Each structure stands twice: as C-alpha cells, then as structure tokens.
Structure 1
Amino acid sequence: MMTSANAVAKRVLLEICVESPAGAVAAIAGGCDRIELCSALALGGLTPSAGLVEAVLAVARPAGVPVHAMVRPRPGGFDYDADDLAVARAEALALVAAGVQGLVFGATDRGGLAVAAMREWIAALGPARPMLTLHRAIDVVDDPVAAVEDAAALGFDIVLTSGGAPDAVAGAATIARMVAHARGRCTIMAGAGVTPSNAAALLAATGAHALHGSASVAAAPGGPDRLGFGPSPRRTDPISVKGLRQVIDDKSNLRQV
C-alpha cells in the first residue's frame, strides 16, 4: 500500500463551474473540491459581477471550498487588444480584493499563447497573487502540447484543457501528452463534456489529476425570450456532481493500491 502522504498527492481534484449562488450550493453539496465562478456560461464563461462574487463566497467560505473566478472581459475569441487587456487587469485586481482564491485567464496571439501580454497581466497582480488557471484558450492554439511549456514558464498552476478538441474525450490522447509534457510543473485539468459516465475512462486515458465540469441540467422552462437575449441558464445538478465525485474517489482508491 502507498503511504498516506502519497495517497493525498494522487487524489484527483474535482472542479465544478457555476454561475449562481444556487449553483455553488449544489456543487458543494455534491462534493466538489473547488468552484470556478463565471457569469454567462452559455457564452463559455465571462467575468462574474461583484455581487455574484460576494454571494458565492458567502456560500463557499463556510464550507471551506475555494473559489476561482473567471477573468474574461468579453465573449468571442482570446486575441485581446490593449483595451481588453486593461479591463482584464482591472477585473483581476477587483476579484483578488474581493477575496477569491484563484483567477482563470488566457490570451492568444497569432496561433499561440500571448506570452508577453499574460506575463504583464500576472505581474500586475503583484507577489501575493492567487492561484492561476490557464483556461481553454490553450485549446485554440496551433500546438496545445508545446503551449504547456509557456504556461509553466509563466507560472500558471493549472491548465484547463480539452486537448484542443470539442470535448475532453475526443482530445484525450492530446491531454495525455500535455500531462506528460507538464512533468508536474502545473496540473493539467481535463474539462469539456465530462460526465459521470465517461470520467473513469477519461482519467485512465489521460492520467490527469483534476477534472472540470458543469454537472448541469436544463433549467425549468421560463417565460418566452421575446427580446432574443438567449436561453435560460442551466442548473447545477448535485446528483451529477456526486456521480463525478464517486467516480473520482473510486479511481483514486485504485491508484493507491
């Protein structure tokens, strides 16, 4: 048997992305290790408002669950101009001041990561910066595996990726290569389309030590969207979170044998 210290080191972490206080409550009830907080998940996640951050921290802090907040100043791609980056810096500083434990960010440039822009963004946080996740901007670069090198050199603690594919199952082989390339310098977290039914196979195929998902279901139908402002938000499902938690714990126990 492995020692208890090694068992802790091998435990797979579960992050659930939410966009509401109710989502945070459901994620915590289901057994998540960490919350990624966004607004507008239907658009891939944007920077959450100050009020949303305050409300979710009020739920997560008593439960001891860290909150990592998205920094994404606008929908669309990740090739940001100077104005976008200035907003992203201001948002990051405000989120840190509000008390989040981590930030989620990414920027691209001509098929690669925008290394210089991200270095300046990180530097603006100062020496007491929180944990940093490079989000799925890495999935739109020409070579996600090589981009892990830039992520590690910049100081990102976590890289969220689907392996450059529409979902993590389709990108599993690339995710495995990213895990190998990281060599423990940052955590490669598999995300996109992760469900209780595919999580075990995904962990086996990739060797990832973290999974990310929304664990969401369609919300109850609301009123008609007469102004064309988009669909109603989905609802975080604690049963789906529990299913992921069970798969992860079963897989972690096997790794400890």
Structure 2
Amino acid sequence: MPKWESDGRSVTLEICVESAAGARAAIAGGCDRIELCAALALGGLTPSAGLLASVLAVARPAGVPVHAMVRPRPGGFDYDADDLALAAAEARALVEGGAQGLVFGATGDGRLATEYLARWIETLGTERPALTLHRAIDVVDDPVAAVEQAVALGFGHILTSGGAASAMAGASVIARMAERADGRCEIIAGAGVNPGNAAALIEATGVGALHGSASVAADADVDDRFGFGPMPRRTSEDVVRQLRQVIDHKSNLGQL
C-alpha cells in the first residue's frame, strides 16, 4: 500500500484552511486531511508556529493529519538564495512544531528546481514528514514529465490543476499526470473544486484526492481605506459536507 493511501475511502478530501475555526469546520464536514496555510487570499503562505499549534490542537484529537504550506513569499516559485534558505528554516520549524506533512515547490527556467528541492528535502533529516509538491508544478513547461521528477525526489503527493486556471479546465492533463504517477504518488486535483463539479472531476481524471477551500465570503468586512485588506474567507462546514457526500456517493457507485 502506498504510504499516502487513505484509510479506506477511495478518494481523499483535503481542505485548505488558515485558522483553527476553519479546521473545526473542515473536520466537522468530513475532510480527510487539512492543508494549513496563512494568507489564502495570496495563494497560501507559511503558517506561524502559533497558528500551527492552534490547528493541531483541533486536528489531533480528531485523527486528521495536518500538512503545512512552506511558501516564504507570495508570487511565483523561482526563488533566490534568501527565499530558499528561509523555506528550509520554515520547514524545519514546522516539523518541530508537529506538522505531519509539508507542502512545497520551487521552479527555475520552466522546470522544477530539482537540485534545490533535493537539498531542501535533505535538510529535513531521515525522519521526514509526508511531502506534497504544490502547484509550482502547474507553471512548468511539462507538468506530466515533472511527475517523474517529483516521484524521484520523494514527494508522495502532487497538488495540481493540470497547468490550467482550474482543475476542470486542466482535467485532461491531470488524467495524464495520474496515469504517469501509476500509484507511486497521490495526484490531488485542486483549483475551483466544488460540490457541483467534484463528481465530474473524479470521472474525468481518475485522481485519488480532491483539494479545495470550501469557503464562503466572511460575515463582515473591514474599512479598507488604510490598506488592511478584506476579511479572510470562511471555511464552510456545509460546503465541506456537500463535497464529502458527492465523493462518497461517487465512490459507492464505483463499487457497484
């Protein structure tokens, strides 16, 4: 059994959150795994030690693993030496803080930055957490070929939209990525995943996992005259539950 395989459900539901409240909603709705980020409005950044601790306090009693984002800044994934050094330090701190997995990626010249990624993984030592290659793979020239590089590096999960703006738009590429992975790692379809398209996405790609924020607009906003930004979106227990129901129904149909 691959180390990433879920506990009996044929399709894993991963929900990205940025707060303990979001983790509670995701777990109550039936998620299998949490991806923890700060600043989801920016695509997700490395969470603080305090945020990690607060989410682990919710997730551990429920038996839900927490995989933490390692992204030292917003923008693209062509990192300089300072970015890369910070990403390595953040990764070690997250592991020490109890994260069961890390989510990371780095690119250069239209390809995965394999030499740096290998060094970054080496800094984690021999007792490594689960590793997810995030959507950095979506900006490389050939995401299907990059699956081989990710597997060789030791990533057990790959989060992807198939190089498109949404997972549905990239479904054909995601399907090719899943075929290339051939069970050696878990391909996670993410970007624009919702209860209305989840079943079609599973059918079109054959993936073993879906990823989404399952979020709705916050109940209140702030006066942004001072540039503080809008309130974060809120993880919806109802949307998570709807995703869970769609996935389980699809899985049950597949078992008939």
TM, length-normalised to structure 2: 0.96
* 1:11 aligned residue: 10
The CA deviation string for residues 206-228 of structure 1, in whole angstroms up to 9 with x for no partner, is: 00010000000000122301221
Deviations 1:162-214 (A, max 9, x none): 00000000000000000001111111000000000000000000000100000
CA contact (8 A) 1:7 1:256 kept: no
| Correspondence list, 1:131-142, <5 A | 131-142=130-141
What is the alpha-carbon distance in structure 2 between the residues aligned to residue 45 and residue 81 of structure 1? 19
The answer as to whether partners of 1:15 and 1:32 remain within 8 angstroms in 2 is yes
- Asked if the contact 2:6/2:12 (under 8 Å) is kept, the reply is no
- When normalised by structure 1's length, the TM-score is 0.96
For the Cα contact (< 8 Å) 1:196–1:247, is it kept in 2? Answer: yes
CA contact (8 A) 1:10 1:255 kept: no
Residues 1-257 of structure 1 aligned to structure 2 (within 5 Å): 11-257=10-256
- Take 2:254 and 2:8, find their aligned partners in 1: how far apart are those partners? 11
Task: Check the 8 A contact 2:221/2:230 in 1, yes or no.
Answer: no
Contact 2:159 2:189 in 1 (8 A): yes
Q: After superposition, what is the alpha-carbon deviation per residue over 1:32-59, rounded to whole angstroms, capped at 9, x for unaligned? A: 0000000000000000011100100000
Deviation at 1:8, TM superposition (A): 5.9
Amino acid at match of 1:12: V
For residue 175 of structure 1, what is the amino acid of its counterpart?
I
> After TM superposition, what 4+ stretches of structure 1 lie above 4 angstroms from structure 2?
6-10
Give the letter for the 1:135 counterpart: H
Question: What SS does the corresponding residue of 1:119 show, helix, strand or coil?
Answer: helix
Alpha-carbon RMSD across the aligned residues, in angstroms, is 1.3
Distance 1:73 1:7, change over 3 A: closer
CA contact (8 A) 2:161 2:170 kept: yes
User: What amino acid does structure 1 have at the position aligned with 2:33?
Assistant: R
Structure 2 unpaired stretches of 5+:
none
Can you give the 5+ residue segments of structure 1 that lack an aligned partner in the other structure? Answer: 1-5
Q: Equivalent residue of 1:189, what SS? A: strand
Q: Is the 8 A contact 1:71 1:103 kept in 2?
A: yes
User: Residues 222 and 230 of structure 2 are in contact (CA less than 8 Å); yes or no, is this contact kept in structure 1?
Assistant: no
The structural deviation recorded for 1:74 is 0.4
